[in-house]
Chain A
Amino acid sequence: MIGFKEEVQLAIPALRRYARALTHDADVADDLVQDTLVRALRSQHLFLGGELRSWLYTILTNLNRNRLRSLARRPAITVIGDNDAPGASNPDVGGRDIERALAGLVEEQRTALLLVVLEGLSYREVAEVQGVPIGTVMSRVARARLQIKTYLEDERPMLRRVK
């Protein structure tokens, strides 16, 4: 049988991916993952069984929310690298566009969409992570998709004109 620590270890790559997509900053993302791991190991005695992966996503999501709250007391800065090349494999929608679109979402919607789309959690699992009913998760995902679609449709023609 696989131990608690081994299972946490196996989750690290996915946690890093989720944290990166949440924050768009490699250092901040790894700090979040580190805090999540420390907290998970420290709280091992409180883990009551069940889906360990969901629990880790819950911790990371809560820590990120705390981080955003403390940032909110300072002026908001969204830093997105200017030298990122648009995704070569997909000339229509560059990686940078999607980063900007994600950065423009409110936190709960970004979290819900990323957990569903990027991390493959079920609506029910996301509902547990966010501590809300499934219907709320669905409306967050729907609003996130609508806003990203609008953003990409509005922004891309403008970028083309600039070029």
Chain B
Amino acid sequence: MMRDNDLPVTEDELHAYVDGELPADRRTTVEAWLAKHPDDAARVAAWRLQADVIRARYADVATQAIPAKLNLARMSYASRPWKAAAAAAVVAAFFLGGFAGWMARDTSGDLPTAFQQLTAQALDAHKVYAVEVRHPVEVAASDAEHLQQWLSKRVGYPLRAPNLESQGLHLIGGRLLPTPTGTAAAFFMYENASGERFTFYCTRAAGPNTAMRYSGEDKAAAIYWVDDNIVYVISGASERKQLWQVARAAYDQLEPRVTDERG
């Protein structure tokens, strides 16, 4: 019978060996293998040399003085926690132009009414359309360019459907939705290999940035936040961790706006 450490050493294991990712028992086996296989030993030596040369080439960058433009203190505006930003905006924090004024209150449990309405609407749309078999979207992902141009034009800012392939989610398409305030929202739908659907909703709004929040129901849940005057709502199955991952993947693709020097 073949014992575990008699199995031939694979190429993957040689790399894992060099990178210190191999369990101790298998390491011994690899070392014995290398003693008998000079070609593999030469490859391992070459990879180690590469690593040494790469580290030697860039080692000094990490020990140089940090330039002034990377001084965190100068980026203090950007780092203001959202609550402080909200407090500063108490004077005139109208959420959604034209909507009844809503004053930012420093009660983190309390949500702005309009924000709640938008989130509830996004979640409702999710529940209605995600179960739709024949017509889940108005414009299919095969026509993605047209879809994004159309929704950008109607919603009023250049928007993009996030690529969620890293989460195993393929874009099916999208549709336009009216908001409770009469403006337009973009609504994109995604599906994974097992047919589970997630939706991404976004619309313009005026208000302070907020943290990501979670709102769960029995069968569907949403994560929603405001960033740079856009409300985002990700809805999907109520498994919280998975939803967070999808929301983070979407967030990571929203274009950053450099806010250095302010504040």
Known A-B contacts A17-B62, A38-B258, A98-B50; A141 and B19 likewise in contact (beta carbons under 8 Å): yes
B70 touches A17 (CB 8 A): no
Q: How large is the interface on B (under 10, 10 to 19, 20 to 34, 35 or more residues)?
A: 35 or more
**Bound Cα distance A39, B21 (Å):** 32
Measured in the bound complex, the distance between the Cα atoms of B69 and A34 in whole Å is: 7
Interface of B is mostly: helix
- Chain B's closest residue to A131 (CB) is B166
Q: In the bound complex, do residue A37 and residue B72 qualify as a contact, i.e. CB atoms below 8 Å apart?
A: yes
* B21→A44 contact, CB < 8 A: no
Cα distance, A87 to B47, chains bound together (Å): 18
Whether B17 is near chain A, meaning CB under 8 Å from some CB there, is: no
In contact, A149 and B56 (Cβ under 8 angstroms): no
B-chain residues with CB within 8 Å of residue A58 when the two chains form the complex = 252
Q: Give the A interface residue count (CB, 8 A).
A: 54
Find A149's partner among B46, B58, B63, B82 (CB 8 Å cutoff): B46
Interface residues of B (CB under 8 A from A): 11-12, 15-16, 19, 21, 43, 46-47, 49-59, 61-64, 66-67, 69-70, 72, 75, 78-79, 81-82, 166-167, 209-212, 225, 244, 248-249, 251-253, 255-256, 258-260
The chain A residues found within 8 Å of chain B, CB to CB, are: 5, 8-9, 12-14, 16-17, 20-21, 30, 33-35, 37-39, 41-46, 48, 58-59, 62-63, 66, 87, 89-90, 92-93, 95, 98-99, 102, 113-114, 116-118, 122-123, 131-132, 138, 141-142, 145, 148-149, 152
